[in-house]
Amino acid sequence: MAGSEALNFVLDENIQIHGGNGFVRDYPAERHFRDARVNRIFEGTNEINRLLIPGMLIRRAVKGDLPLIPAAKALQDELLGPPAMPSMTDEGVLADERRAVEAFKKTALMVFGVAMQTYGTKLTDEQEVLMHLADIAIDVFSAESAALRARAASDRGDGNSALHVDAARVFVNDAAMRIDASARQALAAMAEGDTLRTMLAALRRLLKVTPVNTVAMRRRIADETVERGAYPFA
List residues with catalytic annotation.
Answer: 43
Q: Determine contact, residues 102/146, Cβ cutoff 8 Å.
A: no
Q: Determine contact, residues 36/7, Cβ cutoff 8 Å.
A: yes
3-state helix, strand, coil in the chain (%, to 5): 80, 0, 20
Radius of gyration for the alpha carbons in the chain, expressed in angstroms and rounded:
20
Rounded Cα distance between 75 and 37, Å, is 40
Rounded Cα distance between 132 and 130, Å, is 5
